[in-house]
Amino acid sequence: MRFRLALFFLSLFSTSSFAACDSAKFNQFDFWIGEWNVFNQKGKLAGTNSITKQLNNCVLEEKYLTPSGYAGQSLNIYKPGTDSWHQTWVDNSGLLLTLEGQFDGTAMVLSGTTLSPSGYFVLHRITWKPAPDKSVRQHWQSSNDKGQSWKTLFDGKYVKRKK
């Protein structure tokens, strides 16, 4: 039974049926692609980040690392059925953060909730905005009151690394 089910799914997704994810919507987050040094607001190196397009240009894969050894990764994909973007972030502290949102014409804005150790929901909002100098600002905020007030968790500037 499992074998037949596997064959059924393989037949649905034969190589001839894969559609390239090359429409404008799938490219909205391409400004983030690259090899980056990430600086905090004081100009200190916060970490390095590698953003690449994977899986037939359908997925943005992120790999982040700080000098202190903190590391995280995300997968990002455009969802045509909901006209939205999805990010799944995981890190070496055990954090799982899932975010949903859209490109608003000038920035990518994604949000989602986590459960605090105390048992209350925390709303997260992360905004990535490209700058004229080709850098990208990432502003991560959280709210304990359903978005009435926001606290900055990270405000960083992505600068492309020299090749």
The domain of 144 spans: 32-160
Q: Identify the pLDDT of residue 61.
A: 98
User: Which parts of the chain sit beneath pLDDT 50?
Assistant: 9-10, 12, 14-16
Residue 11 lies in a domain: no
83 falls within a domain = yes
Q: Looking at the domain assignment, is residue 15 inside a domain?
A: no
Instruction: Note whether residue 109 is domain-resident.
Output: yes
pLDDT tens-digit series, residues 81-115: 999 999 999 999 999 999 999 999 999 999 999 98
From 130, 84, 85, select the one nearest 106 (Cα to Cα): 130
Task: Name the domain count of the chain.
Answer: 1
Q: Tell me the residue ranges of DSSP E strands in the chain.
A: 34-39, 45-54, 59-65, 71-79, 84-91, 96-103, 108-115, 121-130, 136-143, 151-160
Question: Does the residue 94 lie in any domain?
Answer: yes
Residue 95's contacts (CB-CB under 8 Å, 6 or more residues apart) are 72, 89, 114
Residue 70 forms part of a structural domain: yes
Closest CA to 156 of 7, 46, 62, 40: 40
The whole-model pTM stands at 0.86
Tell me, yes or no, whether 12 lies in a domain.
no
**Can you give the CATH number for the domain in which 129 is found?**
2.40.128.20
